[in-house]
Structure 1
């Protein structure tokens, strides 16, 4: 049964966007925390965190993540925080999993787990079966819930493999990301095929790459449990690419649509309940 309130998962920064692409992309810890705070006030209940170094380049440095996570928690203690373990730039388990070792108020509630390798326009995200299983096992050991990233139907099947191995426990949280040039497209057929194959006890949100963001978000609001939105996936307010977006504008638009549909944004506390996450005080003590 669908929840009455929808999850807004904000991906504010990502690995790739720069100030040259869009001056509103938050890169420094201060910029990210400020941007996130504004978006939480408008209804974001999950924050998908990437860290950047002093030059604005993507970084796997756990201390950079710790600074961002602690400051977000200071502003909103109940917010659900996801840390990336992306395989797009780093292929060593130690680098990708370093953020999972954070403790106390720097520990993320969730971590991304992409369930297969895929190509983007200029690079690849490499996720071998062994790497996926190692990351899943470490998340399980640390009490960090996987944010299951799905770009294709085969990745749904691999989630079922992990379930059989005892590496995932329900409720399962899936981000379905569509519209990438080399994976499932932003079509009703592709959405329906993927959603139909999800395991029972799944919570799923829809995301779109580039111009696919708003159509897929709209479908997620109407038919799913929510959306992933933000400048990581899309830099523009309009499909014609004439109006650069900010994270705040993207979240405000989604929140307004959600309210029109009678499904207002879930609070961080409600999102924790939907995903089976403990309270912050319990989570950071593990």
Structure 2
């Protein structure tokens, strides 16, 4: 029997990519349509951030999230929805007043970060399991805040994807599991190649997967030019996979991508290695996710 993996399309993110690739979706309608097209190309999951339709920057507006989710659901396209809960963690150091954030700082409380998840009840959400240097920015996700946020996710019945950008994040994610804040078999996501976190290579995947619980599921992705190579490597090592314009805007050197092209390329690579893509319903059953219309 062929191996099966869950394939996620991270359709937009919140980074400064809209001016670099016009295919990056911005409005709720564009984001929903890109998620739908990704599903038609073979994606199991659509990972969703909202953007401000006017500026293209990050949006925490619940109405934007609601429109995205409603459009996907009303399309009757069967795709799992994975909403970010990692927004509002950006701290830009200000050398003149170190205790205050500079321009671009955007910090939300655990309850604010959880609001779109708690209100819209997708099948999945991300939970970023630690703070990290992110380029010249500090992404802030303190441990007590994470405990509070993990409890909110657990109470909502949504499956958290424990995002780990470095090896210390694995240790804290394990702690959340040990404290009973994660229901069922935990699901880890190894986020590789982001400056300055874990490296994007096979050795790092092997190290990280060797330090998660025996009953855990895992996925891994690389950014930029390492996105598509990491699809094959992660799947061959037994993990789920992710592509999308959040992490990489090119199909190949000098060729701008669409989300559905990246999904199609991932599908081709996996099938070449006799690896099939899970349907959304197969993933719901395998990972005990919420059923359509909020059922379990």
TM-score by length of 2: 0.89
Unpaired segments ≥5 residues, structure 2: 91-105
Q: Residue by residue, what CA displacement relative to the aligned partner does 1:10-51 show, whole Å, maximum 9, x if unpaired?
A: 101001143311110011111111111111012111111100
Q: Residue by residue, what CA displacement relative to the aligned partner does 1:138-159 show, whole Å, maximum 9, x if unpaired?
A: 0111111111101111111111
Contact 1:77/1:280, CA 8 A, preserved across alignment: no
Q: Residue by residue, what CA displacement relative to the aligned partner does 1:245-277 show, whole Å, maximum 9, x if unpaired?
A: 111110000011111111121100011122111
3-state secondary structure, aligned to 2:37: helix
Contact 1:171/1:203, CA 8 A, preserved across alignment: yes
Q: Which residue is equivalent to 1:255?
A: 267
- 1:63 maps onto 2:59 in alignment: no
Q: Find the aligned partners of 1:84 and 1:281 in 2 and give their Cα distance.
A: 20
TM-score by length of 1: 0.92
- 1:264 maps onto 2:288 in alignment: no
Number of positions where the alignment pairs a residue of Structure 1 with one of Structure 2: 278
Unpaired segments ≥5 residues, structure 1: none
Contact 2:177/2:186, CA 8 A, preserved across alignment: no
Q: Which residue is equivalent to 1:8?
A: 7
Q: Which residue is equivalent to 1:281?
A: 293
Q: Which residue is equivalent to 1:94?
A: 111
Contact 2:218/2:240, CA 8 A, preserved across alignment: yes
Q: Find the aligned partners of 1:100 and 1:39 in 2 and give their Cα distance.
A: 21
Contact 2:28/2:53, CA 8 A, preserved across alignment: no
Q: Which residue is equivalent to 1:25?
A: 24
What is the CA RMSD across the aligned residues, in angstroms?
Answer: 1.8
Q: Which residue is equivalent to 1:43?
A: 42
Quote the offset at 1:242 in angstroms. Answer: 1.1
Q: Which residue is equivalent to 1:224?
A: 238
Q: Which residue is equivalent to 2:97?
A: none
Q: Find the aligned partners of 1:82 and 1:53 in 2 and give their Cα distance.
A: 19
What is the aligned counterpart of 2:178 among 164, 168, 180? 164
Quote the offset at 1:77 in angstroms. Answer: 5.4
Q: Which residue is equivalent to 1:84?
A: 84
Q: Find the aligned partners of 1:19 and 1:153 in 2 and give their Cα distance.
A: 30
